[in-house]
A and B are shown apart, each in its own frame.
Chain A
Amino acid sequence: MIAVSVSGFAEWRSSARALLTQRRDPADIVWEDARARQQTLVESAASTDFSEAADGAGNHSSHGETAHATAAATKSAIVVPKAFVQLAEVIASHRDPQRWARLYRVLWRVSHGEKHLLELATDEDISALAAMEKAVRRDCHKMKAFVRFRETKADDDEPWFVAWFEPEHYIVERTARFFAERFSSMRWSILTPHACAHWDTAALTFTAGIDRPRDELHEPVETIWRTYYASIFNPARLKIAAMQKEMPKKYWRNLPEAELITGLIKAVPQRVNAMLEAPPTAPRKRLRSRALPDLEREPIVAEVAQATLPQLRAAAASCQACPLWESATQTVFGEGKLDAEIMRSANNPAMKRTSKVERCRPGWALARSCFTGSRDRSRPALPDQRGQAFQVDAGQRFRGTRRLHKTPAQREIDACRRWLESEIAALKPSVIVCLGVTAANAVLGRSVKIGAEARAICRGQAC
């Protein structure tokens, strides 16, 4: 049997390393938590220190032995998973005095044939460590949220922010770094029963813990804060259990706003009833906007024949003729010269690869490959007349990024057909070039087979 007393992670690590190289079985070691002993000493005052001292002198291995072991340890390196070291660092902050023994047992098992142990979430040791880790992390999180500083004056008359906090675990050292980064330009101290952290805008220092300060400072900002807190409280959304889970009662006594909570909760039924019973009101101000429109929308564009292209474009923007209107981002109306002789129709709008909303263009990809030469060298490039033509699409709804380049469904083409027809009517082109079968279907209004009709010119009524 050997007794080892450690107070923090670094000490535990060097002791554990030494013991492991000596092949000390976990069952043969009694781990003492120096921090917990200090705590009990302080709490049980002077009357019991006699026996404690005797205890310490008798049974405890001196640090000498551990130090001796450490020297031996440095010779043979022990390889443990990085995840274990990280886990152990967190667990070291837990209050449970049994943690050192548990950590050593896991270390022993990992290095004695159970390399995968950390993956076994259902193992008794591992699930206990996981629970401890969770408790420490939660306490750290709550400390970050519930430390409340008060502004005081330092000796040099400069502002100095002081907070009193009572964490459940030994987490001051762990969490101080967070506060140093967050409040780097402020001088502050966080005082707790087991350690105090201080920041002077350059370095972090730690001192021993202190008792709860008797005189509590109050400052005017606290009143403003309480007013703010009370007024953002929405009685109609109160969930008491959820609230207490987020803001456990053990932290309440150091929160300036906590004293309001009971009163606010008590007033809830009355306030909510008042809200519900209050009769609805009409706006006092006259509003610019028109009356509420009907649920059923009016048919879009009554007089297609007379509409100009810009008018059509504006009208098409709010088209709801196919179900895409809800999920898609925008319509992509034709564009180009308003007096063009040639109209080109592709099947679908496309976007450049950068997915620019602004660059969403009618038939962009197809037009590029046809008019500036495709990769397929055997197919000669058509002369680039993009500036001279008017480019439209059979399906005009742009669908968001996921379904790019998907052939539009017949229903969607039918819905867009009247826009296409009105575009043709407004532009009166002499030639319509259909880029692909979908476009040809839409323009000609019938099923087209490219092979059968290639090189033939169709004379349509529209042209």
Chain B
Amino acid sequence: MNRASSNVPRARFTVDEVVNLTLDFYRRNYIEGLFLSSGIIQNLDYTMEQLIAVARTLREEHDFRGYIHLKTIPDASPELIAEAGRYADRISINVELPTQIALDRLAPEKKLQTIKISMGRIREKIDETRAELKEKHKPPPFAPAGQSTQMIIGADNSSDKTILKTSTTLYSSYQLRRVYYSAFSPIPDASAALPLRAPPLMREHRLYQADWLLRFYQFSVDEIFAGPDARADGNEAQEQLDLDIDPKLAWALRHREAFPINLNSAPLEQLLRIPGLGARTAKKLVAVRRWRRIRLEDLTRLRVPVKKALPFIITVDYRPPLLEAHSTQLRERLAMPAQLDLFQP
């Protein structure tokens, strides 16, 4: 599916129109910045030149100090991408789908390989600029806010595990700042190859939570999905995140042997595994316990969701009962009601 295959009528703005509209909105503080993107007009490089022209005019002629996020076209020539980085705060290339197989079905024009090569080039340029800055040279800026990408969730049947595996590769190989997950939402005039249902917003949310576990909580993709799928009857390997509980709680319920964790003695890596305890809270606890023993009321002061953390922790004044509930019961107690499907009968 691409823009050319959809019948939705397209409008085209000239560079001046975009610049003037942006300035009108910007001067009134309606907008913080500009997200620049375009369908292909004439050819790749022409489209890219137009996008750059908008960014350049805003920066150089109108002293525009807002944020510019420029959506790059992967096949555009490297010189153009380099120029885009001079004016944009962030540049991004969307991978859209996690595998080439899915791309072949829904976006056959897109090649994961070209996207990756372009991302690699952008990363090099960012690294170079940063290295020069470190040596106190003053290089022309290049995408100071880094690069990011987007994956559409729920348009194809890729599993959450596949999606997160792809994210891990992207984060480690190209140093992306963010991978954005975007639930596929039905558009007017959609193709039959796309699912016509309300966007899976809860799935999107869980993917973001898992993404955070990967980046800030020292989890690996395999860990998140380790163990048999609780919802499947057989011993099928788990490929999807639970929708009713967050991925960290799900992990904890599958690894009861690792708990309870003593907040007064466990190392930071273990604190990070406790459901309900955020990375910042965990660090605060480590700082506090150098001076005072951690009590239950301390958690309330730090606004920890105590009910969720309770079965997994030991404090000076608390220890879970020896016969703490079984994981299945705990799960029922802590699960959120399933996403209310407002628009389905």
Contact = CB atoms under 8 A, between A and B. Distances in A.
A269 interface: yes
A179 B288 CA distance: 38
Contacts of A463: none
A150 B298 CA distance: 47
B159 to A, nearest CB: 14
A269 B345 CA distance: 12
Given A122-B292, A122-B302, A400-B172, A237 B188 contact: no
Interface string A262-280: 0000000100110110101
Contacts of B189: 278, 281
B104 interface: yes
B335 interface: no
B343 A293 contact: no
Contact of B291 (A116, A185, A326): A116
A149 B117 contact: no
Interface in A108-124: 116, 119-122, 124
B132 interface: no
Interface string B186-216: 1111111110111101000000000000000
A247 interface: no
Given A149-B27, A272-B343, A236 B185 contact: yes
A287 interface: yes
Interface in A239-293: 239, 257, 269, 272-273, 275-276, 278, 280-285, 287, 289-290, 292-293
B291 A119 contact: yes
A357 B193 CA distance: 35
Interface string B285-309: 0011011101000100110000000
B194 A289 contact: no
A183 B191 CA distance: 45
Interface residues of A, number: 66
A144 B120 CA distance: 35
A293 B193 CA distance: 13
Given A273-B343, A329-B120, A317 B113 contact: yes
Task: Place the interface of chain B in its size category.
Answer: 35 or more
Contact of A147 (B29, B120, B196): B29
Most buried by B among A120, A122, A228, A320: A122
A161 B291 CA distance: 53
Interface in A281-313: 281-285, 287, 289-290, 292-293, 295
Nearest to B184: A236
A283 B191 contact: yes
Given A122-B301, A236-B199, A329 B291 contact: no
Given A295-B105, A402-B173, A145 B201 contact: no
A379 interface: no
Interface string B104-134: 1100110011001100110110011000000
B2 to A, nearest CB: 9
A185 B322 CA distance: 68
A401 interface: yes
Contacts of A119: 287-288, 290-291
Nearest to A256: B30
A354 B124 contact: yes
B232 interface: no
B87 to A, nearest CB: 17
B106 to A, nearest CB: 9
A431 B8 CA distance: 61
B24 interface: yes
Contact of A225 (B30, B198, B287): B30
Interface of B: 4-7, 21, 24-25, 27-30, 32, 63, 65-66, 99-101, 104-105, 108-109, 112-113, 116-117, 120-121, 123-124, 127-128, 165-166, 169, 172-173, 183, 185-194, 196-199, 201, 284, 287-288, 290-292, 294, 298, 301-302, 342-343
Given A234-B185, A293-B108, 20 more contacts: A116-B290, A120-B288, A121-B301, A148-B30, A149-B28, A182-B65, A278-B189, A280-B191, A287-B5, A292-B104, A295-B101, A295-B105, A320-B100, A326-B166, A326-B169, A355-B123, A355-B124, A355-B127, A357-B121, A401-B173
Q: Which 6 A-B pairs have the closest CB atoms?
A: A400-B173, A122-B298, A280-B192, A236-B185, A357-B120, A121-B284
25 contacts: A119-B288, A119-B290, A120-B287, A147-B29, A149-B27, A161-B28, A183-B27, A225-B28, A225-B30, A234-B185, A236-B199, A272-B343, A275-B196, A281-B189, A281-B190, A283-B6, A284-B7, A287-B4, A295-B105, A318-B113, A327-B169, A327-B173, A329-B113, A330-B117, A400-B169
